[in-house]
């Protein structure tokens, strides 16, 4: 019996910490809801198309996220073969203020972007491990190919140089 408990604890411990993603890895499933309240799962959403995911883990990252997203909005239109998603992790936001946080996010974003904005309320530690998060002060960006494999990642804040690398990854 003790041996079974020990094995179960080991399995749970391994699941609690995940190795960082690398180019070529498949994106794990991310469950969330759009800013308009519809359920949405990645990587199923936008399947067959290249996708850019901009992850934010704290309000401190909102300015950086806006830089990435504003630039993407200029380059990626509705007719584009690329779809951009904003992923906002809200698990660490106290439940009592989540509604207010979501209201603030909605107020700062045009309704046209609500369907590509995903709110998540769980698995924050898992995603921080997978994205190699070192700070909550900026966003983390992942480019997926049509098969939901990681093509490129950024663990640094927005810069023209980083955006150039993202653009090059989309052209591969």
Q: Which residues contact 4 (CB under 8 A, 6 or more apart)?
A: none
The model's confidence at residue 14, banded by pLDDT at 50, 70 and 90, is very low
Q: Quick one: which of 47, 160, 54, 153 has its CA closest to 113?
A: 54
- Residue 74's pLDDT is what? 85
The CATH architecture to which 25-171 belongs is 3-Layer(aba) Sandwich (3.40)
Pair of tokens at residue 142: 């992942």
Give the SS3 label for residue 6. helix
Percent of the chain at pLDDT > 70 equals 88
Q: Mean pLDDT, the chain, as a whole number?
A: 88
Whether the predicted pLDDT of 6 surpasses 50: no
Give residue-wise pLDDT tens across range 99-110: 999 999 999 888
Give residue-wise pLDDT tens across range 137-154: 999 999 999 999 999 999
Give residue-wise pLDDT tens across range 85-95: 999 999 999 99
The model's confidence at residue 5, banded by pLDDT at 50, 70 and 90, is very low
The helix (H) or strand (E) run that includes residue 104 is: helix 95-107
Contact assessment for residue 74 and residue 85, using Cβ atoms and an 8 Å cutoff: no
Q: In the chain, where are the structural domains located?
A: 25-171
């Amino acid at each position: 019996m003790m041996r079974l408990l020990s094995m179960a604890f080991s399995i749970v411990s391994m699941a609690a910490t995940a190795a960082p993603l690398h180019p070529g890895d498949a994106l794990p499933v991310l469950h969330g809801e759009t800013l308009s309240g519809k359920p949405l799962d990645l990587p199923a959403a936008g399947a067959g198309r290249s996708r850019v995911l901009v992850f934010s883990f704290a309000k401190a990252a909102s300015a950086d996220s806006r830089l990435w997203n504003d630039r993407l909005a200029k380059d990626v239109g509705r007719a584009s073969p690329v779809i951009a998603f904003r992923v906002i992790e809200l698990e660490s936001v106290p439940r009592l203020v989540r509604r207010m946080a979501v209201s603030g996010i909605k107020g700062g974003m045009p309704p046209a972007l609500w369907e590509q904005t995903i709110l998540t309320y769980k698995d924050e530690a898992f995603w921080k491990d997978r994205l190699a998060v070192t700070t909550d002060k900026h966003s983390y960006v992942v480019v997926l190919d049509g098969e939901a494999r990681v093509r490129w990642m950024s663990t640094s804040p927005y810069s023209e140089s980083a955006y150039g690398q993202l653009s090059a990854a989309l052209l591969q």
